[in-house]
Amino acid sequence: MVLVAPLAAAFLTFFLSGRDAASTLRTSLFLALAVAGVTFPVLFAGTVATSVHTWFQLPVLGTDIRWGLASDGLSGWLLALTSVLVPAALLCSPRVVGDKIREFAAAAFLLQATLYGALLSVDLLQFFAFFEAMLIPATILIAMFGGRDRRRAAMLFLVFSLAGSVPLFVAIWYLATVPVMSGHHVSLDLVSLQALVATLPPQARQRLFAATALAFLVKIPAVPVHIWQADAYSEGPAPGSALLTGIMAKIGLYGFLRIAIPLFPQEAKADAGVFVALGLVTVLVGALLALRQREARRVLAFSSLSHLGLGLAAIFTFRPEAISGVILLMVAHGLSAAALFFLTGIAETWSGSRHVDDFGALAKRAPLFSVLFAVAALASVGLPGTAGFVAEFLLLVALWKAFGLLVAAVAGTTVILSAAYTLRLVQKLLFGTSAERNPVPLEFPAAAAWAVAPMLLALVFFGFQPGPILKAARTDLLTRLPSAQALIVEDAPHVAGR
Amino acid sequence: MITQVYFWIFSIVALATALGVLVSRHPIHAALCLIGTMVSLAGIYSLIAAPFLATLQILVYAGAIVMLLVFVIMVLNSAKDEHTPRWDAFGWAALAPAAATAFFLLRILLGADAARSFALRPTDPPAARGTVEALSTLLFGDRIGAWSFLFLVVGLLLLSAVVGAVLLAKHRLDDPAAPSTPRPGGH
Amino acid sequence: MLQVADLLPFLGPILLLVLGALATLVAEPLLSRADKHRVLPWIGIVSTGLAAVALAFTKSGHLWGILAIEPTRAGLVLVLLAVLALGLAALQRNLDSDDFPGGEPYALMQLAAVGLLLMVMASQTIALFLGMELASLSIYPLVGCRRDRSESAEAVLKYFAQGAVFSAIFLYGAALSYGATGTVFLAANVLPGRETVQMLGFLLMAVGLLFKIGAAPFHFWSPDAYAGAPSGVTAFMAGAVKIGAVAALGNLWIGHLVSLSAFPSYMVGTAAGAHFPPISLGLQVFSRILQTIFQVRRGLSVAGFIGFALTIFGATAILSIAIGSLSLLGQTSVRRLVAFSGVANAGFLVVGFLLPGLFIANILLTPTLYYLAAYALAAAGTMAGIAALTGPGDGGDHTSSLTGAARKRPLIGLSTTVLLASLAGLPPTAGFVAKFQILSQLFLNASLDPAILQRILPPALQHLSQGWLLAVPIGAFAFAIVAAAGYFKLAVALWTDPVPNSREPEPVPVLLGWAVPLAALAVVALAIFPRALFGG
Amino acid sequence: MTPQLWLLPALPFIGFLINGGLALFGSRTESGPSRGLSGFLGVLFPLVSFILVVLAWQGLFLERESILRLNHDLGLGLAIPQVKPFVQVLWTWIQTGELNVDFGFRFDELTGIMLLFITGIGTLIHLYSVGYMAHDRGFARFMAYMNLFLANMVVLVLGNGPLVTFMGWEGVGLCSYLLIGFWHHDASNGAAAKKAFLVNRAGDLGFLLGLFLLWQILGTGTPLTYEAIATWFRDPVHAALLASAPVAALVTASTLLLLLGATGKSAQIPLLTWLPDAMAGPTPVSALIHAATMVTSGVFMLARLSDVFAHAPLTMEVVAWIGAATAAWAAVTGLVQTDIKKILAYSTISQLGYMFLAAGVGAFDAGVFHVFTHAFFKGVLFLGAGSVIHALSGEQDVRRMGGLWKKLPLTFAAMFCGWYAIVGLPFGAGFWSKDLILEKVLLRGGPALYLVALATAVITAVYMTRLMILVFWSKPRLSPDAASHIHESPLAMQIPMWILGLGSLVAGFAWADPFHLDWFSRHMSESVGPAQALLGAGTGGGPSAILLESVGVVASLLGILVAVALHRSGKFHENSTGPLSVPARAWTFLFDGIHGVAGIWPVRILSWILDNIVQPLLVGFARVFGWCVEMAGGAARMAQTPRLRWNLGLSVLGLVALLLLLARNIL
Amino acid sequence: MGDLQPIQLQVLAAILFALGLATVMARRNLFFVLMGVELMLNAANLSFLSWSRTMPGAVGLEGQLAPIFAIAVAAAEACVGLAMLLSVFRSRESLDTDAFDRMKE
């Protein structure tokens, strides 16, 4: 099935000759496209699931750990996004990772496989297993191909992520063991967990929710557990960072949508204020920090922080607009941020530096690059006509409806700030004068253009026609999880009815 | 009563020689002391109805093991080891955990009703039952039994010990004295 | 009455291994030096494989009560054989690349495996002691077999001296246990009034075995021994010795629990309390045992014993996890890293002895044994992988000697990385499932009702609150993360760019080339099918 | 039959794509892409678009005329005929929850008039650019941007709902950004572009938030189209509701936020600082975007949502005062400028202020009329300025010009027309529209606003006359270098100038009440009529129009005289900056300072704190923690002593500890 | 007094055991380490035998068999130990255990 495809691809890639980078690239690209070819039917199939087996049982307690795969609109779009980004990353990687293309491809495939696993899991522990397993290829991506300080960054990333998953792990221990003592037959699959959690004492639920949420906060990441992010994204290889921010970070939001909120609806609702506040703080801190970064990819990293913070805040409005908007945001941000990372990576190979001041005048020297970069930047800013606008608009609508104008206004400052830091980046990269004395035209690899351009086209397409994605949320996510549905806020009778 | 007398003699000798092992300067002295301990323990064994064990103790331990030890000491004559101080600060300090071990062992063995519980009772078997016959019957009775199987394992153990000793100590004919230097002719 | 013919199926694996060792010894002088390392390992592998086949035909049962085998132990034996195969393969690599003048190590390793097999199967202290000594006396020379290297001598010196002392301690404990129960069997009723002696005996034997497991504070030998030995031997030690010792310690512990469960007081007053509604038989039995055992606190009660035993295990476990994880963090020596990983994992294994599942005889130690299998495969596999990736003399045993090694041999590098991940407890490896099982059950212990906790806990720990107990699994997990950081450094070294102009690595022998990936595969397979070995 | 409205933005967009492609793929060649081709295409698509607009508008126009004639024939009186606008819904854009937004276009008379001059003047300025930019390396790129701008502007005007408008709204902002920063090798241009974009974004946020509130008033189930909004607000059923305090407050808040958006786009107080900086772009850009079209979209939005604004008296008051204040302030600032384009920029701001003022007093149609006339005369002024700059090889400082009317007679003639219109001399375009505004202001806004507006008219005359004097009439002060290259502009630049110059003389007759020419206001009636009716339009009875117009003319003449007098007295001396002794900087940078204090510096300080204090603290915390763990690891490794006796001793100590525990436990 | 009580032997065994332990820990010469281990093994044997006294029949005899195995093991251990000692001595010309302190961390 879908899960096996990237794994198989990873292994096949691994056995390719390490010497001939070009042929390796070709083969791995073919494999990536094949994986994508397998993935898209899943997206179009809508809600599908395999049968669920028992993976193992905890001795004595009889807690059932299950194993099964299921996909719906939410997973489907993220799967599709993943399957698009991986070949794109491969296309953009040759200049960045050099002769290590085979290893890079293998790691990317592994990352893809674990992401698929996490997205398709029906069991909490199964999800967690993939959630953790994802760290391995992600760490490899950072540690193996990145910049000078990559090991420290990778270490920071690994330790932070592991530490972040501790609370979730503890919550799983609790769910797997303690309810047994009060007479429940426990199984960790997400559907039956919902019923189980409802029977737990409120205090326990509260703590479990906090624990679960913390793990996902680290993944997104949200302030103040974000400090791994900038290093990881800037020290890792740019295509790798693209994958990290493009997909892996989304697992955090996905976790909220799929696990934290459906399992603990009341707690989520009760604590919504905290999370919205966290999200808003993340939005602002990310944007403000992005304004001051000296390295291109750090700007992008904090920009990701800011954008996903908005998603976090909006999820906790529990409004249909927000749910749709978040999915759209994930896709839009996945595409635009990844595109920016890809392009920045290529720009870094030109200047040999990551510092923004070492770029310049790329608009003259590499026009195609500049066009792509500018479009990607504008998409990330959320210019109307790109998917990012629709997503941000929906999220702001949701925030406004749920919390009023002031909150929406605070969140909306991202509109200004994101423009500020993104334009600063654009200015430094594309415009001005070159840092070099004799600027010569630079060769922009056609492969990268072929990789990025379709992503940007998709962004524009979804900017005008976001229907399919929005519908996915509506039909799949909201109908599948009853507890989530119950949460969705009905509109307050509008003013005319008062 | 006479048993008690012997016991006290033997035990004092055993302890004294054991102490001698601890404090003697030269290994050879210690080895001699060790023989003393072995022999007096053999005496005690014979007091508690284990004549065969007493014999073994003298034959194997005192006769073979310690002799081997002495032999090696003599071989390594330079191992007189005048440089190594007999006692140093750590040596003294190390006595403390040993003493503590003894203290706790004794305290637990002697404590509460434990000691009472294994006092000899009139129903206890008579002395002198650890004869060769009794033990060999148990070991190599008319059937294959647990103990004889374990005896085979001991054979295996000795085999491995011999092989191991060979591996550790044998001078290979084709092994140059200084193996760390590159061998002539490749390998 | 048993006939020799009846023994054969039961002892098949052991006999085949012994035969293999003897064949190796016989063939050794007949072969030229180069051929020794080409032929002898294969003899060992064949006999190991045959032993594994024989294992399939072995029926459950016991031999005069001293050796027993049932599916659980058979599973352990299987893992042991796998580790032996890994060890032999790696040893071939070491000795071949060192041009070692002799083939005895192969035989010794098989003999050591026989000893460990006996430890797994033993249910009687003398057999256990003999197995332990057989294993130890075979491994000491293996550790010291590189006589040309001074650290080898140093390692064998320390290992031997400490090992001999703790053997003696074990024997003394066996004697006391014999005195307390009147038999040398592990599960036997205590003679009236000798409970304290029993506990003392248990303590000393447990310490002897904890030494073999390498749990702190009895772990000092392991870094030195691991670092002084050829990496193949390290692989074997890391995996196999732990299997033997943990199995033995488990037998000891279960045996004592079984004999305690037969205590007359167990049968009285076993009404199920209101707090534990009977939902499953297992749980019912569990709650009864908890209630009955711990309610009765006579002066020298069973509760006292269990509480004390839990204290031993708890203290060593926590200490081991902490020391092991912290020490491996900054290691630059590969094998010391693996050694401290062994210490940390020993802590997790010992934690397994605290599980509630232990109180039900038919469940035994499933999570612990699963952990054991996962760890043994991963540790042995890792060391074997390192052996394959380094050159002669194990490349000086510094992580820097491994720089870029995986890039030159991607398959083995990847396998080694997967095995390292298993050691660290990351999915998708068995290490993850194992840690989850053990820690979640431990978590259950800590989440029990405070009133019950007060009864389980030994007096010394009774002032501890529930939060403190929760800290045990959580702290264990936190240290696991520290350890993961340590493994990460090694993995990074494996995958960084190779030093330019470094020479081409020697070809890896066929055996090792297959063994390491298979071990990695096994570790992953064990994660996907966790019930394959021990059920559960 | 509904015209295919989507063609209107699509055509320039195709032009953008083709020209963009040319620019992109031709950039490698030695000479760049073919100028002829891209120039031709660049003008062609707007032209076709313009023709289509004319055709569509003609449809509406003819329909109206026929209805009128019918009404007349039937003797039905002068009821304003309702003309059904063309609406084309293309697809469902956003659908989720209660939100349902269609992507569609709406072509009514307001749109029609806007589009007429947008595409029309747009086409002319494209043509002008062909001449002006002919020697620039990035010619194709420039044409692409211009086309893109036009496409976005059309979307802005043509959108059938505020969200579609918003799309164009941001789109023109983007193009403005791109064009201001067109010469991007100079970092200061980039900075100006960025400033424009950011200030606009701040306004856009207001737009969005205002939209939310508006939507809340409507009830979130209502589709977000202008039609729905107009229907809702015009529905008498809702009158009582709108009068209730909470809803009124909502309306006020909503309109104020929308107003913020409008001020951003139209460079009004408080978001006006970007426009003068925007003059860094090529002059055709200044003419098209920053004078004729884009900056007027704020006014357009006010007119579009006039039904909403009409229900918010407070907002209207604010609009009026913002307009008046901006007009006055910018006019004064215009006095002290020395850069020819900056003078025109402040002039634009000032004129935009008039438009806001008109809208604020409820004369939306007058405001839009001024937009219309302003497009002509400001267009020609900018084009003329461009021509001058072109002729002087880039010289922009009026102090180094003078006496050019002889050298550049054609340019002078065209600019004179523009000057004539802007100062409001009789029968010029500005005369009609400005005096109309003044009249409405006096009628509905009161004397205070009227006086401000009148004073502004005087000042306008002063600085415009100053401009003309310094550039064309006074003694030549050219640098020798510039003087040697001086030449009249090519035909491609001349033609648009003439047409616009002509337009600035006659465009005012679209609504010249004294001549009973009022088709402009009639055409506006469908869109803004109800709102104006609600605000009590037509409750006249003030001074007669003739009198007011005379006052206006007198004001203009006064201004001209003052200017001439000042010039005579040497106040326009070449070294002085202007007629005022107040430092020019203080005027120019007043609002920059305010922005700095209110927005930029807090953000900078905050981000500095986050970057230099908070982030290092967090990272440092993690580092220290990691360091502690490493230290603990070091300590643990130290415990692993290398000596056998220590090892044994420690192990035995462990044993002793366990023995102690046992002893304590059982004894 | 009368018959020899097991507790007497146990005390002797415990003290011997502790003395052996002390020898192993306190002395630096490798020979002493080996001899200390022998002492400890002897103590264990003594303990076995003394317990054997208190038990009837074959059970009691088991306690006499165990030391036989223990002695065998001791012999094997001595064999390996001495071989190790030779090997160690060759490698560093010293039997001082403190001299073997090169393996750090």
Q: What is the DSSP secondary-structure string of A309-322?
A: HHHHHHHTT--HHH
> The dihedral of CA A160, A166, A168, A169: what is its sign?
positive
**Chains with ≥3 CB–CB distances under 8 Å to C:** A, B, D, E
Preceding amide of A6 cis, omega within 30: no
Q: What is the tens place of the pLDDT at every residue in A435-474? A: 666 667 777 888 888 888 899 999 999 888 888 888 776 6
Residue C195 has pLDDT above 80, yes or no: no
Q: Looking at CA atoms only, how far is residue B10 from chain D in angstroms?
A: 29
**C112 neighbourhood in chain B, CB within 8 Å:** 160
For residue B173, which amino acid is it?
A: L
Separation CA A164–CA A158 (nearest Å): 10
**Nearest-by-CA chain C residue for D631:** C326
The two tokens of residue B10 are: 């033997």
Nearest to C157 among E24, E41, E88 (CB): E88
Q: DSSP states of A139-188 as a string?
A: HHHHHHHS-TTHHHHHHHHHHHHHHHHHHHHHHHHHHHHHHHHTTPPPB-
Task: Give residue C73's Cα distance to chain centre.
Answer: 13
CB contact under 8 A, A416 and D96: no
Q: Which of A60, A61, A102 to mutate to test the interface with C (most CBs of C within 10 A)?
A: A60
Q: Does D644 touch chain B (CB under 8 A)?
A: no
Higher pLDDT: C187 or D594? It is: D594
Query: What percent of chain C stands above pLDDT 90?
Result: 35
The two tokens of residue D51 are: 């023709």
Nearest to A319 among D91, D97, D177 (CB): D97
CB contact under 8 A, E97 and D643: yes
**Inter-chain CB pairs, C–E, below 8 Å:** 134
Q: Are strands D99-107 and D86-96 parallel, antiparallel or unpaired?
A: antiparallel
Q: What is the tens place of the pLDDT at every residue in C282-296? A: 333 444 444 444 333
- Which of these, D164, D264, D122, lies nearest to D206 by C-alpha position? D264
Nearest to A130 among C280, C414, C427 (CB): C427
Separation CA A21–CA A28 (nearest Å): 10
Nearest to D652 among E21, E98, E100 (CB): E21
Q: Determine how many CB atoms are found less than 10 A away from the CB of residue D394.
A: 9
Nearest to A162 among C428, C484, C489 (CB): C484
**A114 neighbourhood in chain C, CB within 8 Å:** 428
DSSP A49: E
In the prediction, which pLDDT does D79 show? 53
**C473 neighbourhood in chain A, CB within 8 Å:** 170, 173
Number of helices and strands (H, E) in chain C?
22, 2
Q: Which of C197, C202, C298, C300 to mutate to test the interface with B (most CBs of B within 10 A)?
A: C197
In the prediction, which pLDDT does A8 show? 67
Which residues of chain D fall short of a pLDDT of 50? 1, 539, 575, 578-579
CB contact under 8 A, E92 and C174: no
Stretch 43-62 of chain E: residues touching chain B, C-beta under 8 Å:
45-46, 49-58, 60-62
**Chains with ≥3 CB–CB distances under 8 Å to D:** A, B, C, E
In the prediction, which pLDDT does C267 show? 25
Contact D267, D203 (CB under 8 A): no
Stretch 119-148 of chain B: residues touching chain D, C-beta under 8 Å:
none
**C311 neighbourhood in chain D, CB within 8 Å:** 661, 665
User: What's phi and psi for B84, nearest 5 deg?
Assistant: -75, 120
Residue C266 has pLDDT above 50, yes or no: no
Separation CA C470–CA C451 (nearest Å): 15
In the prediction, which pLDDT does C304 show? 65
Residue B78 has pLDDT above 70, yes or no: no
Q: What is the CA radius of gyration of chain B?
A: 23
In the prediction, which pLDDT does C264 show? 31
Query: Nearest-5° angle of CA C158, CA C485, CA C513?
Result: 70
**B34 neighbourhood in chain E, CB within 8 Å:** 35, 38-39
Highest mean pLDDT among A316-325, A414-423, A427-436: A414-423
Nearest to A384 among D171, D238, D603 (CB): D171
Q: How far is CA B118 from CA B114, C191, C205, E7, E11, in A?
A: 7, 9, 21, 7, 13
In the prediction, which pLDDT does D19 show? 84
Tell me the longest C-alpha to C-alpha distance in chain A. 77
**Nearest-by-CA chain D residue for A381:** D201
Q: Are strands A64-67 and A48-49 parallel, antiparallel or unpaired?
A: unpaired
CB contact under 8 A, C326 and D632: yes
The two tokens of residue D502 are: 């002509």
Separation CA E101–CA D644 (nearest Å): 8
The two tokens of residue C259 are: 């004999």
Q: pLDDT grade, residue C268 (50/70/90)?
A: very low
**E97 neighbourhood in chain C, CB within 8 Å:** 157, 161
Q: pLDDT grade, residue C252 (50/70/90)?
A: confident
CB contact under 8 A, D644 and C200: no
**Nearest-by-CA chain D residue for B111:** D667
**Chains with ≥3 CB–CB distances under 8 Å to A:** C, D
Q: What is the tens place of the pLDDT at every residue in A26-41? A: 777 787 787 787 778 7
Q: Which of C128, C157, C203, C323 to mutate to test the interface with E (most CBs of E within 10 A)?
A: C157
CB contact under 8 A, E87 and C156: yes
Q: Does D78 touch chain E (CB under 8 A)?
A: no
In the prediction, which pLDDT does B112 show? 54
CB contact under 8 A, C330 and D637: yes
In this prediction, residues B38-59 reach a mean pLDDT of: 89
Stretch 51-90 of chain B: residues touching chain D, C-beta under 8 Å:
90
CB contact under 8 A, D645 and E104: no
Helices (H), D392-488: 404-407, 409-423, 429-440, 447-468, 480-485
The two tokens of residue D513 are: 């009440």
Torsion of the alpha carbons at C475, C481, C487 and C492, rounded to the nearest 10: -160
Nearest to B164 among C33, C141, C194 (CB): C141
Higher pLDDT: A94 or C348? It is: C348
Quote ipTM for the complex. Answer: 0.87
**C158 neighbourhood in chain D, CB within 8 Å:** 644, 647
CB contact under 8 A, C137 and B157: yes
Residue B103 has pLDDT above 50, yes or no: yes
DSSP D151: H
In the prediction, which pLDDT does C281 show? 33
CB contact under 8 A, E11 and B53: no
Separation CA C198–CA C180 (nearest Å): 5
Stretch 474-533 of chain C: residues touching chain B, C-beta under 8 Å:
none
Stretch 185-204 of chain A: residues touching chain D, C-beta under 8 Å:
none
Nearest to B130 among E22, E56, E64 (CB): E64
Helices (H), chain E: 6-26, 30-53, 57-92
The whole-chain average pLDDT of chain B stands at: 78
**Inter-chain CB pairs, B–E, below 8 Å:** 249
Stretch 45-104 of chain B: residues touching chain E, C-beta under 8 Å:
45, 47-50, 52-53, 56-57, 60-61, 64-66, 68-69, 72-73, 75-76, 78-79, 81, 83-88, 90-92, 94-95, 97-99, 101-102
Q: pLDDT grade, residue C300 (50/70/90)?
A: very low
β-strand partners of D87: D106
Q: Which of A64, A69, A162, A199 to mutate to test the interface with C (most CBs of C within 10 A)?
A: A162
Q: How far is CA A427 from CA A64, A354, B72, D181, D186, in A?
A: 56, 15, 84, 9, 10
Separation CA D385–CA D79 (nearest Å): 45
In this prediction, residues B111-118 reach a mean pLDDT of: 60
CB contact under 8 A, B114 and C194: yes
In the prediction, which pLDDT does B146 show? 74
Q: Does E70 touch chain B (CB under 8 A)?
A: no
